[in-house]
Amino acid sequence: MDADRFAPADAIDPDYGQKLREAAARGVEVVVYDVRIDKNRIRLNRPIPYDLNFFAS
């Protein structure tokens, strides 16, 4: 497990953060999972909390 929560990285891709927030405001369900990665696969690990306003300007 690497992540304990998710927030869009607005400094890297502000359009993505804006569109994600717009979608969530319109009722799109946001689902965020931590993943386990090895050389053969990527597996969902566990759901983690998110904060769509953490990096928002």
pLDDT 10s digits, 1-56: 577 899 999 999 999 999 999 999 999 999 999 999 999 999 999 999 999 987 65
Residues with Cβ within 8 Å of 50's Cβ and at least 6 positions away in sequence, in order, are 5, 6, 7, 30, 32
Phi, psi dihedrals of residue 23, rounded to the nearest 5°: -65, -45
> Which residues pair with residue 33 across a beta bridge?
47
**Helix (H) and strand (E) counts in the chain:** 1, 2
Which pTM value belongs to this model? 0.77
Q: What is the pLDDT of residue 8?
A: 94
Number of domains in the chain: 1
Specify the CATH number for the domain of residue 2.
3.40.1350.60
First and final CA of the chain: distance in angstroms? Answer: 28
- The pLDDT assigned to 21 comes to 96
pLDDT at residue number 56 = 57
